[in-house]
Every structure is written in structure tokens, then in C-alpha cells.
Amino acid sequence: MAKLVMAAVTPHNPLLWRAMREPLPDDLRGVAANFALIRDTITELGVDVIIEVGTDHIRQFFGDNQPAFLVGKAESYHGTYENEVRTFGMEYSEITGHRELADLIAGRDVLTEAIDFAVSHEWRLDHGFTIPLHYLTPNFDIPIVPINVNSTLPPLPSPRRFAALGEHLRDTVERWDSDARVAILTSGHMATDVGGPKQFAGSPDPVFDAEAVAWMRDGDLEGAIHGCRYERIIEAGNITYQYVNALTALAAMGGVPADLAEATESRFASSPFFMWKAPV
């Protein structure tokens, strides 16, 4: 059977792509070090395939058709868009998909009992997916199953649904007849405001950040679900809901304390870095 060997949560802030260059600015050394730690862990654990849970930023999925949960079933994915090359200096990328695992996750004939997934055979990944891969698998040499979770355009799936997704991913990996070693990678934010009154001036809500780190450090899934109610999240910043993506990783690992739990400070906002290694 396949084995879920690790899960991780990283930021996907595309401003990092511009700013985190050698020589590293002092305020971004912690961010770079945590990306390196997770990258080294992926290598150390011999990960064969990555289930990447992230959020499209109103690029492919707009108000004309916004799925709550969507599984990528493509053989390969093209990364980033013209506007992200223009605005952030990002690079185009080509990423291999993993159709067999995607079919298992989404349901091939009948939708899973856990989540009503949409599927896509044609998906261009934005920075929510490509930034973590640029830092963690820079050669794009590990195939992925991308899963889009709507954390941006209300109405949003509730936090408990994100936990259900994590439990479903763990169950799917455990019943996959394969010797593959699987990682779950999610990306998101701590308290973050983009386009609002509190943008790009450090964390807009350090109290939320501290609580949000503690849920991961302590393995407190129920606390996280309760603490991520919509009204509290919006108070912490208008796109903070992408923090809820992290609940998928916590639930997938059985709600146990993370080996790494940190909100790494930088000039932009605090960056989420959480990681779990499965017991050997």
C-alpha cells in the first residue's frame, strides 16, 4: 500500500519571488530557511508524488464558474499567467500530473462520499501552486495531483469541509495499491490583507497568527475549526481564509502536533510554515 510520509504547509506569496534573492535580505532569511528545511525533508523521505492543495487566485476559476473543491486530472500542467510574469517576475513552468492518484481521490465512476469534487483536465496553475513548487521541488521532478480549494470567493466551504478533505486524502493514500511515498503539500496565509486597509505592513492580526500557530503546534484540529469561523477570519484580513487550507494537512496527519509550527515574520506578512513527518 502507498504511504503518506509527510505533510507540509508553506506560504505562496509571489512577492517572495522578487524579493528573496541572493544576497538574502535579513527579514527573509527565516522564510528561505524553512523552505529549505521542507525541501530537504521531501528528499530525505523519498517522496514519489505530491498531492498539492492550493487556491487559484481568481485566475482560472472566476465568478462564472467557481468550484468549492476541484481535482486536477491532467497529464501535465502549465504554470503561471502573463499577469504574474508581469507583476511578480515569475517564470513559466511545466509540471507533470499523476492521473492514477487523481482518479482515486476524485472517484472515477461515482463521486466520493467525502467531497463533491469537480475535476479539470485542463488547468493552468497560478502562484498558489507554482511558488511552493519552485522552492520545494525546483526541478519539478515529482509528479503532482493539484487540488483547488476555494478560499477566495464566497460562499466558501466551511473549515470542517477542509478537515474532511484531509481525512479523505489520507484514506485514499492508505487504500492505494502502490508502493508510492506520498506527501501532502498545502499553501496559504497567516493573517493577510491584500487590497484592504492593512496590506503589506506586517501581520494585520498577530493575535490570530499566534492562535493559528498554536493549533498546529498542539494538533488541535477542533480548536482550528472553531477558530476559523468566517467572521473571525475576515477580521484578521480579507484573504486570511487561505489559512484554512492548512487544516487539510493537519487532518490528513490525524490531528497530531506538527514537527514544525511557525509564523515566520517578514516585511510582507507572517508566513505559515508547518510540517509533519509520519512515524517510521
Partner 1 sequence: MSKYMIDKFMRAVEMSDAAVDAYVADTAGFVEAWETASGGTDRPTDDRTLTAEERAAFIARDFEALYVLGAHPYLLWHFTEAIFTHEFTDTFGWRDLVERYRAAVTPYGVPDYIA
Residues that bind partner 1 (CB under 8 A): 57-59, 62-63, 81-83, 86-87, 152-154, 193-201, 234, 238-239
Provide, rounded to whole angstroms, the least separation between the CB of residue 223 and partner 1.
25
Provide, rounded to whole angstroms, the least separation between the CB of residue 239 and partner 1.
6
Nearer to partner 1, 43 or 92 (CB): 92
The cell 495499491 sits on which residue?
177
Provide, rounded to whole angstroms, the least separation between the CB of residue 170 and partner 1.
31
Beta strand 49-54 pairing with 144-149: parallel
Provide, rounded to whole angstroms, the least separation between the CB of residue 124 and partner 1.
11
- Check: CB of residue 145 under 8 Å from CB of residue 105: yes
Nearer to partner 1, 81 or 123 (CB): 81
Residue in 244, 242, 228, 98 with CA at minimum distance from that of residue 172: 98
Provide, rounded to whole angstroms, the least separation between the CB of residue 191 and partner 1.
14
Compute the CA torsion angle 84, 88, 89, 94 (nearest 10 deg).
-40
Residue 235 sits at φ, ψ, to 5 deg, of -60, -30
Nearer to partner 1, 55 or 172 (CB): 55
Angle at 8 between CA 7 and CA 12, to 5 degrees: 145
Nearer to partner 1, 3 or 59 (CB): 59
Nearer to partner 1, 12 or 57 (CB): 57
Residue in 244, 248, 214 with CA at minimum distance from that of residue 230: 244
